Each structure stands twice: as C-alpha cells, then as structure tokens.
Amino acid sequence: MSLVSLILVLVVVGVILWLINNYLPMDGKIKGILNAVVVIAVVLWLLQVLGLLSSLNSIHLGK
C-alpha cells in the first residue's frame, strides 16, 4: 500500500468519524465508545499494514 493511499484512508476515516460525532444525535458515552473502537481498529489496521503486527493474519472469525 502506497503512502498516499494510506494517508487517504486515514483522512477518510477521520472525516467519517467527525461527521458522525457532529451530525448524529447520540449520547456522549456512546460516542466515546464508538470513537475508542474506531481508533483501536485503525491503529491495529495501521500496525498490520506497516508489518509491525503480523499475528493478525492468524486470527479467523467464523468457520
């Protein structure tokens, strides 16, 4: 994955999260949980893309 596409994905995720936080009426606790889940998922994805977390390839969800 090129650096430009990596930055583009991070910007898109950030904009979507900003839109959700500003324009969807939710309780503050739910927004906090949603933000934490998205940040953790993006950090894990980023570590895997950069090759720093190769153990995610062995995790299989479902059958």
Q: Among 50, 49, 52, 21, which residue's Cα sits nearest to residue 35?
A: 21
pLDDT, averaged in runs of 10, over the chain (63 residues): 91 96 93 95 89 70 69
Whole-number pLDDT of residue 63: 65
d(CA 60, CA 49): 17
* pLDDT value for 1: 73
Distance in angstroms (rounded) separating the CA atoms of residues 14 and 27: 20
